Every structure is written in structure tokens, then in C-alpha cells.
Structure 1
Amino acid sequence: KSLTIPVNIRVTDANDNSPIFRNSTYFINISESTMVGSVVLQGIQALDADQPGPYSTVQYSILPGPYSDVLALTSSLEGTLVLKKAVDYETLKHFKIAIRAQDQGQPPLYTDAVVSIEVNDSDDQNPLFGQSRYWAHLPQPARKGTGLEIRPEPMRAVDQDAGINASIRYAWNAGAEYQDFFLDPLNGSVSLNRSLEDNELVQPVILVVKAHQVDNLDRYALTTLTVSRSWSFSPQLQYLQRRYSVQVLENVPVDTTILAMAINKPIDQSIRFVMESHNGTEQAFSVDKTGEIKLERSLDYETQMTHQFVVWVTDGLTNDTATVEVTVLDVNDWDPRFELAEYEFIVKESALPVGSVIGRVQVDDGDAADRVNLQLKGPESRAFNVQDNGDVVFSDPSSLNSTVIHLMVVARDSGIPPRQASVPLKINLPVDFLMMNGSGITLSTADGSGLLLIILGILLGILSLIISGLAVYLCQ
């Protein structure tokens, strides 16, 4: 007699293929006016010929280099590049970065590609007035059509893009109509629209002037023109406002002017501005001899959201005070940060109900106002969900084909522009997990040891049946 014993042999995949980019070099053009956080290139893709699993899961990274901090990948699993750092045509016209595509093998296989970037020039400079503020006395008598003698020089603005040198037009800011004054849109001169009596305009008036480019209304500059009667400057020195409020982004550079304080006298050598110390605020701001408030150190929204201080002004005979309140606006300057560089969860239960929590990832964001959204990515990510609190939950056994799962956890915050980070996640399931949870897919493991044990168990079972049958036959 002969006996046929069926034997199933499963061939496991080996990591013998490197990821291959569709293009060895990618070319892109970036305008120097492109906003940080903008997508500049999509479609970078490398394919791995290995079977679906860790050996064919491709992870992208930017290799260290002179300009590796200019661009960033939105995710290590996607070939999408965003602008991470502003570029300036005047200082950097062309640069290259290297992209690496790497699989999840041990050791991993990889391929590199080059991204070549051309920076395009743009109209990125606003017009600039010759002075930050101007003043003028009303002529005596104040007759209609009489021009004002503007000091310390005629009010003019020029385009800072010298190569473009766009034409400039002047207007009252935000559509304001100062009925008593006429502003020449071509040369910035100011004259009286009507005659003024001696009992009119007894207090100084501040006119806000806007100079914009003819070819681009979004390119403009602002200045102030203080108009007063010559006798209105005496005898008492006064601020034109008792309280100033200003909003400042927390990433504004040090030495930036954030406010210009106005008084009812021309600023000369007798005028002195002094900041009154208040809870360390004097270290963050300073006031110069013209009454301009400047930033002395970097601001941080997470540390202090508002600053308030008092500024004195004196001419040696009289003095006055004004209160300044600075509100710091939040900027998304922190990436989400995971507690661990990688996570590994081991599931011991063979029969795991849908909805079971198998582990938790911890992620924080240094920006106090930001919310962090978590997402799983990878070939078998549909089998699991990650909740806002970091819990990784078992959800769909039908999409599993392995007991060793390699995923990426991606954290994306709610800031503008949004920032994100990712870490690898490895999930180890019991050998019989797929059968117990009804995946309907033949069991396989990363190293094949579990499959070998099952095959040997089946063969031993069949051999036991054969021996039992022979024993019964011989007994008869």
C-alpha cells in the first residue's frame, strides 16, 4: 500500500530589491515670495519590487546638506515637499537637496535622488518713506489751496525693488477722508481744501498717508503727518494719545519698530522719552529719542501673552505719560514631539475583540494653543485606529496578512502653517492571531518560524493518525 501526504510549502519574501525613484533628478521653480509651509513639489515616488509588507514599505527623508533645512517632507511616507524656510533671490538663486528612499528591511535598502531648485525673483519689497513721521504748521492765514511746508523734508516714498522701481501713488489710508486737506496722489504734497478760521483745528491732527505701487496695490507703506498751529505746541507738553495698543507676532525680529508715539511738539534735542520699568518689561522693549518703541529681545506667546508699560516724555520743563499695551500673537513654531523615537506593542491575546486598546503613543506640542491630530499610515493601517489621546485601537482584522505589523504614526498640529512629525510603530501579534480573529488569510510571519511550527504540527498529527490506523489493522 502507498500513502500520499500533502505538504504545503510557503516561500517567504526576502529583502532583495531597493526602492527605485521614478526620476533620478527632479526640477522645481520657487518664487522668493512663496509662503513658508506652501507645497512646492508633489509626486516624488520610489517603488520597491518586494512583496507587500515591510520590505516594500518606502520611507523618504532629506539627507543632511548645506540647504537641507530649506525644504521639508510633509510625511516620511509621502514624497511631498513644502517650503520650511523663506528663500531670497538676492542671496540664493539655485540650490540642490538629496532625497533618500529607504525600505523597512534589516538592514534596509535605499536609493537617493536629487531635487534641483531654481529661485525666481519677485516684487517682494514694499515702498519706503524717507521718514517714519512728518509734521507741518498751518500757514498764517490758513487759506484754501495753500500748500503745507512738510518737515523735516518733503513727503516722498520710493520702491525698494530697485530693478523694478514701480511708480508710486499717495492716498489717505483705509479710505479715510480728511476733508480739510488735499493729498496730491502723484507727488505726496498736501494743501488746504478750505480756509480755516483761527478757532478751528486748535489741537494737532494726525493724518495717516499710504504710498502704494501702481502695479501692485498690496505693496505699500504708511507714515503719519501731524498738522498743527504753531501756537498749539505750547506751553504744555502732551501725548496725543494717553493709551496705545499694538499686536505683535511672537516671531518678529529683534530691533523691529512696533509703535511710534506722537506728542504735540516737534521732536528736538530737548525732548526725552523714558520707559518706566514694570515687571521686567523694560528688557523686552526700548524707546528711542524719537518716541519709537522697539523690540529688544524675542517674544514668546507661551511665556507671556501681554506686556504693559508706561513711557514718560519731558522737555525739561513739563512732562507727560502714556500707557502702552503689547499683545503677543501666537506663531506655530513647534513641531509635535513624540515621547519615544519609536513604539513597539506586543499583543498577547489570540482572540482580540474589535475596539480593544493595544497601546498608547504620547505626543505633545510646545505651542499652547495648538491641537494635535494623530493618524496611522502604512499598508495595514486599516486594521487599527489611533484616537486623539494616543490610544491605538484594533478595528478591522480582515485587512491583516501578517502577525508583525509596521506602521507610521503621524502627528499634525492645528497651527498656521501646520507642522507635523512621525514615528515608526511595530505591532507584534500572537502566532494564531489571524485564525482566531477570522482574517481569512493564510498565516505568515516576518521570519517564517511560526509557519514552520504549524506545518510540523500538521505533519505530526497526520503521522499519528497513520500509526493509529496501522495499529488497528494489525490488531484485526
Structure 2
Amino acid sequence: VLVLQAAWALAGGQVRYSVPEEAKAGTVVGRLAQDVGLEAGEAEALRLVAQGRRASVEVSGASGALLVSSRLDREELCGKSAPCALRLEVLLERPLRVFHVELEVTDINDNAPVFRVSEEALNIAESSLPGSRFPLEGATDADIGVNAQLSYTLSPSEHFSLDHQGNNDQSASLGLILTKSLDRETMPVHRLVLTASDGGRPSLTGTMELLISLLISVLDANDNAPQFNQSVYKVKVLEGSELGTLLVTLSATDPDEGINSDIIDMKYEIDTVVPPSASDLFSIDENSGDIKLKGTLDFEAVNLYDINIKATDKGTPSLSGHCKVVLEVLDVNDNAPEVWVTSLSVPVAEDASVGTVVALLSVSDRDSGANGRVRCWVWPASPFGLEATFSGSYSLVLREALDRERVSEYEVEVRAEDGGAPALRARRGLRVPVSDVNDNAPAFAQAVYTVLARENNA
């Protein structure tokens, strides 16, 4: 199998590769042993250590090449995060050496846009005026970047057109615009097809059928759906906020008269939540429009929610208006650093040279920003120290000469502290025995011995 991508860079034992998701097992990602400058025969001793995520790659003992070993699905590994980088460490034991590998899994357009439902029914009053806008729920695409940039088209219609406001982000708003007056007697039902296309090459599409039923206006009256004062509400809230926290109060109005516009009796409800698994996290007061928290928010799990809201009046027939609440979850320092020992090369010979690598460690913090920035140190500092070799990776190295006859074993503690306020801390203890070498010649207790002996003493 051909090599997909040569190393981007090699500096200080760090090498970077790129491979597209869904590459077949056995695909050669890079000539690792060659790229890090190993001698012939050393490749067989390479050992791969993955940090955090399933690696899905392996090192060939025969050639020292980095190979795809199992399915690489960028969406499964990283979700919407970009870039999707797997951090790997490749070790050689005795003497302990580490090579850091960053493997970027690039996106391919393997996910088509998906609508939540295959058919959406809209009830529109026959007397609705041209220019009226009726909100629609858009599609989602699991890919990222241009592969997830969605555009929409509507099947030909002389009565309706499509309105797509905003960029292709969480605040974009999709709606159906009435362009020509309706006549229920001529056409009581309109069937339209809404198509979402992504920006991949080739483009993938998803469709949803719109079933539009026209309602007869009786007496006056209910020919105006409730209108929210904003089509999109943006709200920010700290993760871990208490249950019952008020997130936002929504308000809709209706230009009709009487019961058709009775704001007091207007009913608010949550239509959909994205992701769907978060449906139980939020509640809305159907009378006041207050949206409150009824579950626990975790920034590290999901940091952005789309809550689609519907307001329904009491007219006959009732009409509904829609808006979207984009809820951003803010990080708080609720995760302490974590320290792992990746490799430990003990015992250490007492004649080991200064700079010898004794252990490899990985440090991480699930928080973001300052809350996730970690500083590390060794206690007690002598005779060992820490050297940062890569982001989140450290080597425990010898800073001073050892003497087993003076100290035969060290208890070392690696301590980590994040940048939150207050800071959270972690520690990991290591036992480092010192092995003896023949560095001491035999020694007499004194340089000269004087012995008295009688002559002729048998």
C-alpha cells in the first residue's frame, strides 16, 4: 500500500503525519523508523503508546512503518473538533528514548446532511399575507469544514420561496417565505421538497418533504402566527450551574385580536433539542416562556446546544411561531490535572550520566483555557528534574551524579497544578532504585601495617 502522506516535520524527536479517515487497514501512514533516524534492527524494539484516544495505528516490527490497524472514523474520534489530532508516543527501551508522533485524521465527505424528520407538516392560514415567514428546522452534517457547509434548495413553487439567513453556523435561520396569496379552494395542500446539500466534492444531499395544509379563515381571524421578538436567542451559562437556574425568558406576540392573540393563554413548548440526548436537560414554563435548567451541564461533554421553541396561540385553528435558543456552556475549573507514567526505566545505574531519561510522563487536564494549562515540577528537585518534550509530555531526567553507597533509592513525586482560580492539583509518586556498579576498588583500613614478630619464632 502506498504511503499516504510523508512526515510534515521532524524536530526534537517530534514527527507529524496526516491520514484521511476511513483509510484501509494496512495503509502505510509513514516510514517512522526512517523518519526518526533509527539504526537497522532498532525498529523491532519500538513500542507505541497512545494518549487519551484509541490509536487505530500500529508500528510494524519488521519495517518500522506506522500502519493503519483498524477503522479510523474522524467523527467517532473527535466529533466536531478540528483539527482531529491523535497524540502518540513511540518508545525505545534501554536507553530510554521517546519519539512523539502527531497523527492528524483528515475529514472526508462521508456523511450526508440529515433532517431530524423526513416529513414536516405546516398549517398555514389561507389569509396569510405575502411576505409572511414560517421557520423551518434545518439539517445537520457530522462532517466538518467545507464538507459540513450546508446550502438549501426548495422544489419549484409559485407560492413559496426559501429564506436562509446568517452564515453556516449555529445562529443560521431557515424559513419558508410566502410569495403569492393562497387559495384553499384551488389548492388545499402544497407538497414541497426541501433539499440540503453539503460543500463536499462530490456533494452529498439530504431531503425533507414539506406538507403544507391551508386552513380556512373563519370570521376574522386567526391568520397571524405568534412572532418572537428574536428569531435566535444567544445565551451563555456556566457548567455545573444549579438545577432550576433561569436561562432566558422568551416572549412572543400575535397581531390578531381576542383569543387568537391572547398572550396570557399562549403556550410555549420545547420543540427539539440538538443534540437529542439533551432533551431532558431543559424545561420551559408554558405560560411565561421561562427556560430553566433541570439537568447537569458538563462543558467537557457538550458545550453548545440548540433549543428550538414553539409558541402556539389559542385561535381556531391554532397557529404556531418558532425561535431558536443557542446555549453556550462556559468552562469552569472542575477537573484536576491527571498525571500518568508512560514508561519507567529502573533501576538507574549509579554511574548514569547527567541527562539520562529515567521516566516518561503524560499530563493532561480536561478543562480549557487557563483552567486546562498545567505546570509540573519534581519534588524533591534533586537529583532529578522534568523536561517538557511535547505538549503534555515530560521526561524525568537525571540532573546530578548518583552514588548508590550514599543513597540507594529515591522517592520522587511529580506534581501538577492547573491555572484555574482556585488551582487544582495532582501528584504521582515514583520509586527510583539505584543499582550498584563496580566503582569502588578494595581498600585497606590503613595504608601501612606494622607487625612485630620474635626472631626464630616458628
TM-score range relative to shorter protein: 0.3 to 0.5
Higher strand share: 2
TM value normalised by structure 2: 0.40
